[in-house]
Amino acid sequence: MEAALWIVTGLSFLSWAVSWILFVRFRRVPSGPKGVGTAPRISIVIPARNEEANVEVLLQSLRECRFHEIIVVDDQSEDRTEVVARELGARVISGKIPPAGWLGKPWACQQGAEAATGDWLLFVDADTRFVEGGFERILGLAGGESRVHSVCPYHEIEAPYEQLSAFFNVTMILGMNAFTAKGAFARDIGLFGQVMLVSRKDYDLVGGHSQVKGDILENFQLSRCFAAAGVERSCWLGKDTISMRMFPGGVRELIVGWSKGTVSGAANTPKAALVGISVWMSGLFMSVVPLCFVAAASSPLATVMVSLYALWSFQCAYLFRASGRYSILAALAFPVGLLFYQIVFFQAVRRKRQGGTVQWKGRDVS
């Protein structure tokens, strides 16, 4: 028993050490340019379905910013999304019913892009908001080189149940394969779907959202389209730039929200990143198992096992805080969040294999 516990503990430590390669190059959006130079003509495109409250917060956060235009695509909303957006000065497009083969979000983005007149397109989810000075940081990314930028909004946490999103947030970030030791030289870098900045030229070059019209996670497929066209991709973390509160409606909304993209996200994650995430999670599990036998372990082994758990908690705290405003308690009690993640993930896998669907805002999305 003692030998087996030493082996499991050693493997867990090895996983802990190796897993740092996955996120050694975490980087935030750099500070925007100083001064009052000529700003690029950015068209902000916001797809919105039943986002009355969210779109108000987002548009208010943009009131003092320098942009070319804001286009809100009202995607068949059943609330006051259109009215609120117009009152706050946005140009509102009444979205048409998605044609056969199209999903709602890609269709809304396509309609907004067709109506936009700027040289750059900034696609922003309605449930985000810019922090003070955040849009200027995004503005600084718009340059002359052929490159598309995506940003993962910083996850704001208000209710205790939202701490359960920690592992979903982190795996989403790691799944982009953009923050590894290889950095920009990694293959199959993904794009975050919540915030994407691309020049009109490059967007038209790849055919826009028409190339990903039926994809639940259109950001993964769009990234591959840009890669095939020779357009570089960059991923950034959104702390101090843009934030979001993802599921304010309760635990059920959180479960449904993460379920709709978790399985598809895993299927689209580059193999290297998927292996890395698997090693990371295996190490997390292996750090917990020996603790169940800590009372029966020798004093040196017990000390090592407890120390290893502390190392994993430290790493989780680093990752969680990079992705959102998570409590230190979420890191210290990481087995709870990890178990929740596994339950939701495997339930989503089972549902998909049985041909089931997930309803999101009145539509089937998987």
Give the CATH number for residue 103: 3.90.550.10
Strand 195-199 to 120-124 pairing: antiparallel
Taking the C-alpha atoms of residue 59 and residue 299, their distance in angstroms, rounded to an integer, is 59
* Whether the Cβ atoms of residue 335 and residue 342 lie closer than 8 Å to each other: no
Owner of token pair 């430290």: 314
- Is residue 36 scored above 70 in pLDDT? no
**Band of residue 33 on the pLDDT scale cut at 50, 70, 90:** low
Taking the C-alpha atoms of residue 167 and residue 281, their distance in angstroms, rounded to an integer, is 10
Instruction: Dump pLDDT digits (tens) for 205-231.
Output: 999 999 999 888 889 899 999 999 999
Q: Is the same domain home to 176 and 236?
A: yes
Residue 261 covered by a domain: no
User: Domain residues for 284?
Assistant: 2-23+269-355
Taking the C-alpha atoms of residue 195 and residue 204, their distance in angstroms, rounded to an integer, is 18
Q: Is the same domain home to 186 and 56?
A: yes
**Band of residue 178 on the pLDDT scale cut at 50, 70, 90:** very high
State residue 167's pLDDT score.
Answer: 97
State residue 107's pLDDT score.
Answer: 94
Q: Is the same domain home to 284 and 244?
A: no
* Whether the Cβ atoms of residue 272 and residue 186 lie closer than 8 Å to each other: yes
Residue 233 covered by a domain: yes
State residue 292's pLDDT score.
Answer: 82
Q: Is the same domain home to 115 and 227?
A: yes
Instruction: Dump pLDDT digits (tens) for 63-111.
Output: 989 899 999 999 989 999 999 999 999 999 998 999 999 998 999 999 9
**Band of residue 34 on the pLDDT scale cut at 50, 70, 90:** low
Q: Is the same domain home to 275 and 338?
A: yes
Taking the C-alpha atoms of residue 230 and residue 32, their distance in angstroms, rounded to an integer, is 26
Three state DSSP letters for 78-124: CCCHHHHHHHCCCEEEECCCCCCCCCHHHHHHHHHHHHCCCCEEEEE
- Is residue 187 scored above 90 in pLDDT? no
Q: Is the same domain home to 106 and 152?
A: yes
- Is residue 52 scored above 80 in pLDDT? yes
- Cα 37 to chain centroid distance, Å, stands at 31
Structural domain total, the chain: 2
State residue 131's pLDDT score.
Answer: 95
* Whether the Cβ atoms of residue 190 and residue 223 lie closer than 8 Å to each other: yes
- Is residue 126 scored above 70 in pLDDT? yes
Nearest one of 257, 169, 274, 268 to 217, comparing CA atoms: 268
Beta bridge partners of 152: 237
* Whether the Cβ atoms of residue 148 and residue 142 lie closer than 8 Å to each other: no
How many angstroms separate the Cα of 161 from the Cα of each of 152, 166, 200, 248, 337?
A: 21, 10, 40, 10, 10
Q: Is the same domain home to 286 and 144?
A: no
What value does the mean pLDDT take over residues 314-338? 97
**Structure-token pair, residue 10:** 């050693």
Residue 365 covered by a domain: no
**Structure-token pair, residue 176:** 């982009």
Three state DSSP letters for the chain: CHHHHHHHHHHHHHHHHHHHHHHCCCCECCCCCCCCCCCCCEEEEEEECCCHHHHHHHHHHCCCCCCCEEEEEECCCCCCHHHHHHHCCCEEEECCCCCCCCCHHHHHHHHHHHHCCCCEEEEECCCEEECCCHHHHHHHHCCCCCEEEEEECEECCCCHHHHHHHHHHHHHHHCCCCCCCCHHHCCCCCCCCCEEEEEHHHHHHCCHHHHHCCCCCHHHHHHHHHHHCCCEEEEEECCCCEEECCCCCCHHHHHHHHHHHHHHHHHHCCHHHHHHHHHHHHHHHHHHHHHHHHHHCCHHHHHHHHHHHHHHHHHHHHHHHHHECCCHHHHHCHHHHHHHHHHHHHHHHHHHHCCCCCEECCEECC
Q: Is the same domain home to 50 and 16?
A: no
Q: Is the same domain home to 157 and 212?
A: yes
- Is residue 365 scored above 60 in pLDDT? no
Q: Is the same domain home to 202 and 289?
A: no
Q: Is the same domain home to 116 and 145?
A: yes
- Is residue 2 scored above 90 in pLDDT? no
Nearest one of 17, 104, 115 to 312, comparing CA atoms: 17
Owner of token pair 């208010």: 60
